[in-house]
Amino acid sequence: AAKFTKGLQELHIKSSINHFGCSLHPFKLLKHLTPDIVKLDGSFANEIEKNEEKREELVEMIRSLQASGVLTAISGVEDPSTLPTLFMTGINYIQGNYISEPLDDLDYDFSSEGL
């Protein structure tokens, strides 16, 4: 995988890691891979409003990833109540059904929504 991601970088192709943070030692993976974007596990989006420990863990992961030059994203945003907390964490990208449910075509008009 390390050779593959290095090859992608040489071709100026971006890479990402999904479901980051759900393993025991997620940062060990980053010793071998250098992704452009890390998408944090969606379970964090579900827990940050009701679990301060998870919120602090998420903030620390985001800070550490961004300090090493990695963009951060999170999936699983299903309602507006988590948005203020997520924005305060400094996350770069947010994904989930609240933002937009999956579409059949790539024709979403971002200007028509009040986001």
pLDDT tens by residue, 36-50:
999 999 989 988 888
Biggest distance spanned by C-alpha atoms of the chain: 43
CB 16 within 8 A of CB 39: yes
Number of domains in the chain: 1
Instruction: Please list the alpha-helical segments (H only) found in 1-115.
Output: 2-10, 26-29, 43-47, 52-67, 83-89
Domain assignment present for residue 114? The answer is no
- Give the helix/strand (H/E) hosting 55: helix 52-67
Domain span holding position 56: 2-99
Q: Does residue 99 or residue 94 have the better pLDDT?
A: 94
Domain assignment present for residue 112? The answer is no
Domain assignment present for residue 110? The answer is no
Domain assignment present for residue 105? The answer is no
pLDDT tens by residue, 23-39:
888 899 888 888 999 99
Supply the mean pLDDT for the chain: 88
